[in-house]
Structure 1
């Protein structure tokens, strides 16, 4: 899950690396269950009610449609979840995503002015929350939703920000 070491600069190390909480996959999982149940029910109904040739054609059409639904609403979200990571190093914040085409955002730690978190009622049940990284850029802030153990992540990042400010005050 961590960012590849070839993407880190000399002397840079990972402080926190994470992805969104697996709760993001609940919806896609439910879609998979519903589609599989619908295919089974359709298959049973077709066997009982429709003639063999028509049942075969309808079964193939249903199978293709089910495959497309599973690919779009289950596999694609799973691949997005697997390929999206959020990493704090001792020098920067890195958000990377993308299945085929990659997208990334990097914010140097010395430009980050604050790291806050929000935990809603549902988030509390799942042990996750939203991390808000505020920086001095024109974009202003990055909201990273559904981060597992968000309070602990925020503490680690705040400590690293403090260590970075102490190092820069010492001239190191």
Structure 2
């Protein structure tokens, strides 16, 4: 999904647009499975009781609250979190009701690095660390294909008009 063009400058283009890695959805999916499985088991246990209808309503309400709070909310949070590198800036947008964002102009970024442990490497994600003119480096967790994003961001930060020079083309002249 491309980032909305209406939020970009006239000569600004999206280089990369990512949502956080899917690994942040593993726990919410497990909660969904446990709530549905546990609720179904408990509903079957009380099926022969005289008070089964109020118990079923209570189980359904509790299950709905848990699914909304522990599964649906993280899914919406994941979907509305954007990590965008453009030709002019690095943008991060998060949130549903309270939207927060940060923009860092490419000219203000001093260095870019990444780190990922064994599990992150197996899953293809990691943490991107951006040092800019601010006091503390900014860390962005769970970036998919973090090494690729690091390379693209580094190229944009160190964009040099002479980078288009190809020595092989110059040899034939």
TM-score after normalising by structure 2: 0.90
Aligned to 1:13: 13
SS for the counterpart of 1:2 is coil
User: What is the total number of aligned residue pairs between the two structures?
Assistant: 162
Match of 1:103 among 100, 118, 129: 100
Are 1:94 and 2:91 matched, yes or no? yes
> 1:133 Cα deviation (Å)?
1.1
Match of 1:115 among 108, 112, 115: 112
Aligned to 2:124: 127
* Larger proportion of helix: 1
Gaps of 5+ in 1: 168-172
Q: Distance in 2 between matches of 1:8 and 1:105?
A: 14
Are 1:145 and 2:151 matched, yes or no? no
Gaps of 5+ in 2: 162-173
Would the aligned equivalents of 1:80 and 1:99 in 2 still touch at CA under 8 Å?
yes
TM-score after normalising by structure 1: 0.90
Aligned to 2:157: 161
After superposition, give the CA deviation of every residue in 1:61-93 in whole Å (9 maximum; x if it has no partner): 110000000000000000000000000111101
Would the aligned equivalents of 1:2 and 1:87 in 2 still touch at CA under 8 Å?
no
Match of 2:54 among 39, 42, 57: 57
> 1:117 Cα deviation (Å)?
0.4
Would the aligned equivalents of 1:90 and 1:160 in 2 still touch at CA under 8 Å?
yes
RMSD across aligned positions (CA): 1.3
Would the aligned equivalents of 1:83 and 1:98 in 2 still touch at CA under 8 Å?
yes
State how 1:61-76 maps to structure 2 within 5 Å.
61-76=58-73
> 1:109 Cα deviation (Å)?
0.6
Would the aligned equivalents of 1:19 and 1:147 in 2 still touch at CA under 8 Å?
yes
Greater than 4 Å deviation, 4+ residue runs = none
